[in-house]
Amino acid sequence: MAVFSSLTPVFVAVLCVIIGFLFKNSQRRQTRSKQGRSDQTSKPWVDEDLQDDTEISSKHNEDDDWLDTTEEEDLRHIPYTPARYSATEMLERSEMFYSLMNLRRSVRFISPEPVPKEVIDNVIRTAGTAPSGAHTEPWTFVVVSDADVKHKIREIIEEEEEINYKQRMGDKWVQDLKKLRTNWVKEYLDVAPYLILVFKQTYGILPSGKKKTHYYNEISVSISCGILLAALQNVGLVTVTTTPLNCGPQLRLLLQRPANEKLLILLPVGYPASDAKVPDLKRKDLKDIMVTV
């Protein structure tokens, strides 16, 4: 008993040290967790609306509301015979297309002059020729020409963009944009005759109500956007690619788009304004963008 009594202070001291150690570890974990959350919210490239799984797991496909693709009919294959050009023609066509696309610039000064709607229809048809995962074509192009809706879109975007510039984007990004003379004021959203909002469909919804997996939907829609930019350049129209952070949910609600659609890119489209100016930028040389093995 005497021995136990003499050991009690030592035992209490050791116990206190252990408790203190565990308490400090807990505090460190909480601090790291808070820092992690803070880092996530401060990352300029994070758009909350696009933080979703682009691939659907096999577990989801086991649910009753997902389409069983084994029930689909086999797809018929047909002969493919595209035009074939001589080496000289290929070189000429490649040089002509490069010259055309090399003139493409991001233009923020857009004329209100009307553009034939049939032209817009055709450039979007062209964008719809893009390849997509399992040919799911996971894109929706919302074309807005109504002045009131365009203004509402502008209000939503400018409100969020002001927060982006002042809080979310960080000093470095804002500093990098200074040379381009951009800010959160987007007058062209009112002025451009058309706004094209490109949504990616994270999954498809069939007429039966069943859901269909859309593989690589963001990559597929991004390729489609690239073709759309080329199609606009081909007809002499201009645009500027805008990816307004954290505007997706409000714009989806405004345009009455379903929950499976997420805003990827917004394009104001029209003729360039008569006084349009663009930064005098230089493109990288071929040797800086291509590696031949």
Handedness of CA 118, 114, 230, 50 (dihedral sign): negative
- Cα-based torsion angle of the residue sequence 201, 207, 208, 213 in order, rounded to the nearest 10 degrees: -20
Share of residues in the chain with pLDDT > 90 (%):
59
Q: Which of 224 and 184 is assigned the larger pLDDT?
A: 224
The residue written with tokens 């659609």 in the block is 261
pLDDT in tens, 238-279: 999 988 888 899 999 999 999 999 999 999 999 999 999 998
Helix axes of 87-102 and 217-234: crossing angle, nearest 10 degrees: 90
**How many CB atoms sit inside 10 A of residue 192's CB?**
29
What is the pLDDT, as a whole number, of residue 19?
66
The size of the chain, in residues, is: 293
Mean pLDDT of 217-243: 97
Q: Which of 247, 266, 269, 278 is nearest to 115 (CA)?
A: 269
What pLDDT is stored for residue 231 in this prediction?
Answer: 98
pTM of the entire predicted model: 0.78
CA 160 – CA 173 distance, rounded (Å)? 16
Give 64-67's long-range contacts (Cβ < 8 A, gap of 24+): 65/209, 65/210, 65/211, 66/210, 66/211, 66/212, 66/213, 67/206, 67/210, 67/211, 67/212, 67/213
Q: What is the pLDDT of residues 13-31, one digit of tens each?
A: 656 656 666 666 665 555 5
Residue with structure tokens 């577990």? 59
How many Cβ atoms from other residues are within 10 Å of residue 206's Cβ?
A: 9
What is the pLDDT at residue 265? Answer: 95
Q: What is the pLDDT of residues 114-159, one digit of tens each?
A: 999 999 999 999 999 999 999 999 999 999 999 999 999 999 998 8
189 is written with which tokens?
């959203």
Q: Is the Cβ–Cβ distance between 216 and 136 less than 8 Å?
A: no
pLDDT tens profile 54-112: 444 444 555 568 776 666 678 899 999 999 999 999 999 999 999 999 999 999 999 99
Percent of the chain predicted with pLDDT > 70: 69
Is the model's pLDDT at 38 over the cut of 50? no
Structural domains of the chain sorted by starting position, each given as residue range(s) with its CATH number in brackets: 111-272 (3.40.109.10)
H helices of the chain, in order, are: 2-42, 58-61, 87-102, 117-127, 147-163, 170-178, 188-191, 217-234, 248-254, 286-289
- pLDDT value at position 208? 86
